[in-house]
Structure 1
Amino acid sequence: MTQYFNFIHKYRKRSLQSGMSLVELLVGILIGLVATLAISNLFSGFEARKRTITSGSDAQSTGVLAMFYMKRDAQNAGYGLPLNNSSDPSPLLCPINTSINQGGVIINLSPVVIVDGGAGSDILRIRYGNPSAGGASLRATGTITSPTLDGALIGCRENDIVLYRQTNSNPNCSLGRLQRLNPDRVINTLSELNTTPTASPVSDLNGSEWVRFSCLGAWNQYEYAVNAAFELTRTGGVEGGNPFPDSTIVPIVSDIVSLQAQYGVTNTIDPTFAAANSSAVIPFSAANYLNRVDQWVDATGVYGPSIELLDRNRIRAIRIAVVARDGNLQKSDVSQPCNGAATGLARVCIWQADNTPANVDLSSVPNWQRYRYRVFEATVPLRNIIWNRDAL
């Protein structure tokens, strides 16, 4: 009997044991799904922030590098042009078409030229020399092709570009190439004189007016532009090689979608000069304007391709803006024009310090609003051409 009751007890105990019910199974699956979704969203958020930070870092790097290259050249603009004093007029008083045929390429004395790109990117051209004498000049007499100089010819080398300037209020000017030097540093031969004649080329070194002779070194031109692949390119002459624009166009920075530039001009006449010359006509050299920037202008109208000497010589600085793209296409729009009003979208503006920042046209960039951008700006005083003024 005892065995019987033990058997019944074990049987009943086994019958009271049960497995997981369907409801419990569904609840467990639901909890697992919620946890999986939460973890996935967490990782997705981290990844999105990582992409944003990484892409922002890329845009930062490319923009800084692009600005470094252009600022470096712009700060050298005009280097090598002779310095000004009371008896030695500025080379920027020369006729604006004073030019040299350098290896088949016509290059003039304008230190900075902006080519307006309309709705697209602008082009920035910068010119400077590399003479070791840094703008020194000597009086020249004799014949123009083999002049005699008052002093030792220091800092000039064969194949350097040379500048003749006649010392009067409306100077005649010529450019040429120092083809040969004698062992005693006396000029043997000058070539390419007046290949592109100016309005008033120098023709006589023995006249009543002094003629000054200066070496500009390798007077080359460097050009910055944005190509169809959204790369900032630099083209420039290399000493001893082909000058611009025969040199190879070199892409230097990627994901640059726009380059914009403006001239900073002075409109203020020196009050001391104005008081002493109330009835005088302001000289075309702009020598009596203050060294300050009163207005920023595009390279259009009077500051376009047909710019005159007066307006060119009132340029005191340039400012540059580059727009760098992050390179990662987003799933939806993240950017808008500067005058856009959409909530949550970043505005792309240039000249951000102005009272009214400007739009930059990025319509040539496919799906442009689905990229993030960073704008970099720099103002560069043209410190090598301040000699526009008589009194420094």
Structure 2
Amino acid sequence: MKETVKVAVIGMGNRGQSLLKHCILPQPGVQVVAVCDRYEDRVKLGVDMVLEAGQPQPKATQDYRELLDMPELDAALILTSWESHINLACDFMRAGKYTAIEVGGAYSVDDCWKLVRTHEETGTQCMILENCCYGREELMVLNMVRQGLFGEIVHCQGGYRHDLRQEVAFGRENRHYRFYNYLTRNGENYPTHELGPIANVLNINRGNRMLSLVSMASKSAGLHEYLVREKGPDHDASQMHFAQGDVVTTIIKCAGGETICLTLDTTLPRAYSRAFHVQGTKGMYMEDNNSIFLDGKDNAYDFKWREKWDNAKEYRDQYEHPVWQSYLKEGVRGGHDGMDWLVLRAFFESVKNGTPAPLDVYDAAAWMSITALSEQSVAMGGAPVAIPDFTNGQWTSRAPWEP
């Protein structure tokens, strides 16, 4: 077991800066030995953060390839734009470095296969940093499912429902990749926040798998109206046609017979929600009103359910996941209500112990592929599209996920 892991942070945009400051540098037994970004000012910002944390001067570069042959480097954290995740991950796996990639969708199914085959050829671990798998509510519901509270699970829903109009509209000014993605692509472009926790509930890649999907996209109107209002009708962006539909709905069929409904909703005014929803033969959990409905207990309230909103907290004492029981005693840290800290801690522990990544390359490939596959379905008017088995049959015998 390594007492200290030496890591490189590649990508120093807003997400990279936040994780470096709040969840990487403060982690016990983690030393940042290199910082990389294509922009010089961001590299300098990363170096300053490392030095301010009291760590030694890290290597600073705008070319990640300079890091591949660093003998002291144990792991690489890829926090860059979506389009670069897989290529960078494959290069670091070939270099024998534990690799972690931030979330986002894949641009092609071939890229997903490339990720899997590189892992299988090199034996190097790659983890997708899906923080929502470590969310307090998500883990409590997973614990409830595994204890049979909801019976046999039949249907799950999730969403990335987040007003990103400002982020997208000012993407060029802020050097953010979403602008050009929304301009040219149309599909479920950010599937893993909602799909990751659902995949764990349904044992996807671990006794179950996703078989096929259909996707439909609404028209694109929200960004145009926002741009006209914020930048004026004569601004070049106000005259562009954005391909990305305001609301994209994707329905997935699983080998176990379950269905999953995902919703992307990021260019209209709305409140934030991941809309996590799990429904079985004995009851259901609904994130948006934080409630649990159990057959035989709550039926009298089926038409007056508002009286029971927020009742999920009543189940905490019995069903709080052990990970969060310990975490609450330690003290919750980092961003996104503590999820960021937990997912990175899980990655660093796998590096220290030389063990498989908790959310591995097969999870990354399956979840990220939904973007490319949904684009195909949307382009064909909602036609069904097959989802590959990236485990090549191993899903029938792989053990259930444990955080």
Common fold, TM-score beyond 0.5? no
Which range, TM-score by smaller chain? under 0.3
Higher relative contact order, structure no. (Cα contacts within 8 Å, ≥ 6 residues apart): 2
TM-score by length of 1: 0.25
TM-score by length of 2: 0.24
The structure whose residues are more often strand, as a share, is 1
Name the larger-Rg structure: 1
The structure whose residues are more often helix, as a share, is 2
